Amino acid sequence: MENEIKGYRLETCFSSAGCPNQAVNSHDLIQQIEKQLSKRNLKSFLKERVKGPLKIHHEFVVSVSDCPNACSRPQIVDIGLIGSRKPEVSEESCSHCRACVEICQEKALMISIEDNSPNIDFNHCLSCGQCLKVCPTGTLYGSALGYRILVGGKLGRHPQLGKELPGIYSIEDTLKTVGWYLDYYQRHNREGERLGEIINREKMEISDKKESIR
């Protein structure tokens, strides 16, 4: 198995084949993350720390999904990226067609028609962008296009879901954040443990890294 180990894995969904749920096109981002990971020489890094042969569960895993359906399971990897388009209400008049309400998969709780315009409940909105695609008047528009970022997810004997950083990150800030967590992972790694285990051991507070990565 060790001959097949690269030290990292980059997993993606299949939206490049034309998925209708795609919120963003991640092709360029995936290429840039691949370059980031390959430059780290993570296989040699792990061989210096892991006792015994390397196995697939030792690899650092980044997963990219182009929409909140998250087919590539970004919740259970070291760094998970979920493509997002956050809706906002413009000054364009609403036609009251209710197309946005009908397409919302969050049981129509995301948007309701009030005061002659859509009303967005961000406690339920997943920023999937589907409402933007069906709005015929431009009343809804995308105010943020980018990625939700989850860190520290893993399976194994003590599985845990990744913790989400607040906000939606641009491609530039997403790449910087991936780099920041890779630095943290390599700086604190002792025996080839996963990022989530390091975060737990170091009692690191998961917070918005947008300021610290600039």
Q: Which CATH superfamily, name and number, covers 2-84+144-202?
A: Sulfite Reductase Hemoprotein, domain 1 (3.30.413.10)
Q: How would you classify the pairing of strands 79-89 and 60-65?
A: parallel
The verdict on domain 87-142 having CATH code 3.30.70.20 is yes
Instruction: Tell me the per-residue pLDDT of 79-134, one tens digit each, with 9 for 90 and over.
Output: 999 999 999 989 898 888 889 988 988 865 456 556 677 888 888 899 999 999 99
Percentage of residues of the chain with pLDDT beyond 90: 70
pTM above 0.75, yes or no: yes
State CA 116 to chain mean position distance: 34
Per-residue pLDDT, 16: 63
How far apart are alpha carbons 45 and 163 in whole angstroms? 25
* Residue 118 pLDDT: 83
- Nearest residue to 185 (alpha-carbon basis) of 10, 58, 35, 26: 58
What pLDDT does 214 receive? Answer: 44
- DSSP one-letter string for 122-163: TTT-----HHHHH-SSS-EEEEEEEEEEEE--B-SSS-BPPE
* Total count of residues recorded for the chain: 214
Alpha carbon distance 15, 30 (integer Å): 12
- Location of each CATH 3.30.413.10 domain in the chain: 2-84+144-202
* Cα angle 5-154-203, degrees, rounded to a multiple of 5: 115
Closest CA to 84 of 151, 145, 33, 131: 145
CB of 77 within 8 A of CB of 62?
Answer: yes
pLDDT tens-digit readout, 161-214:
999 999 999 999 999 999 999 999 999 999 999 999 999 999 988 765 554 544
Encoding tokens for residue 138? 């431009």
Q: What mean pLDDT, rounded, does the chain reach?
A: 90
- 184 touches 200 (CB < 8 A): no
SS3 content of the chain, % helix, strand, coil (to 5): 30, 20, 45
Across 9-18, 58-67, 99-108, the highest mean pLDDT is recorded for 58-67
Question: What's the pLDDT band for 136 if we cut at 50, 70, 90?
Answer: very high
Residue range(s) of every CATH 3.30.70.20 domain in the chain: 87-142
If you write DSSP's letter for every residue of 77-139 in order, what string do you get? SSEEEEEEEEEEE-SSPP----HHHHH-TTTT-SEEEETTEEEE-TTT-----HHHHH-SSS-
